[in-house]
Amino acid sequence: MTHVRTHRPASSTTVHVTIAARTLLGLDDEPGEVAGIGPVPAALARALAADGDWRRVLTDPVTGDVLDVSPRVYRPGAALRRFVQARDKTCTTPGCLVPAIDCDLDHEVPFEEGGQTVRANLHASCRRHHRQKTLYVFETRAAHRRRRRAAATTRWGGPAEAPF
């Protein structure tokens, strides 16, 4: 039997949901399981799994013992994108009105620095503002200090301190 285990961040908490692949696909309604809680209805398990990071886990169908864990993490990108677009509505740079559906999904903590592709670490950013933020990575220390002073008065800065 194939299970999909999701690691779903809710602020700093990770929820581990185990759900049979057939159930995830809607082919049956076997209960899923939330670690530390126990069985949950199939519909709830599917909802929890909708935008987590998924990892395939093969289990023995009789004993439930884990036989193999895929080293790869899968990301259901479309569902996550729709969520962030609906939540943010526009580019999250203050004053920018570019609709979120025309924006990039930008990592608050950069992917290269271990930032996860999950709701809490993603926001809508139009191409122009996304590029500006990415370019900040290459600025000098002096430029960084100048920008921090400016950010202190405008409440808007680059990737290091922007809470968006």
Question: Which residues sit at the interface with Zn ion, rule CB under 5 A?
Answer: 91, 93, 96, 98, 126, 129
Minimum distance of Zn ion from residue 121's CB (angstroms): 18
Minimum distance of Zn ion from residue 120's CB (angstroms): 20
Minimum distance of Zn ion from residue 11's CB (angstroms): 26
Q: Which residues contact 57 (CB under 8 A, 6 or more apart)?
A: 2, 3, 4, 5, 18, 66, 68, 69, 70
Q: Which is nearer to Zn ion, 3 or 133 (CB)?
A: 133
Minimum distance of Zn ion from residue 89's CB (angstroms): 12
Q: Which is nearer to Zn ion, 23 or 93 (CB)?
A: 93
Q: Which residues contact 15 (CB under 8 A, 6 or more apart)?
A: 6, 7, 8, 9, 34, 35, 48, 52
Task: Calculate Rg over the CA atoms of the chain.
Answer: 20
What CA–CA distances, in Å, run from 10 to 14, 15, 70?
6, 8, 23
Q: Which is nearer to Zn ion, 51 or 106 (CB)?
A: 106
Contact by Cβ (8 Å): 138, 131: no
Q: Which is nearer to Zn ion, 30 or 108 (CB)?
A: 108
Separation of alpha carbons 86 and 2, rounded Å: 32
Minimum distance of Zn ion from residue 133's CB (angstroms): 10
Q: Which is nearer to Zn ion, 18 or 93 (CB)?
A: 93
Contact by Cβ (8 Å): 6, 51: no
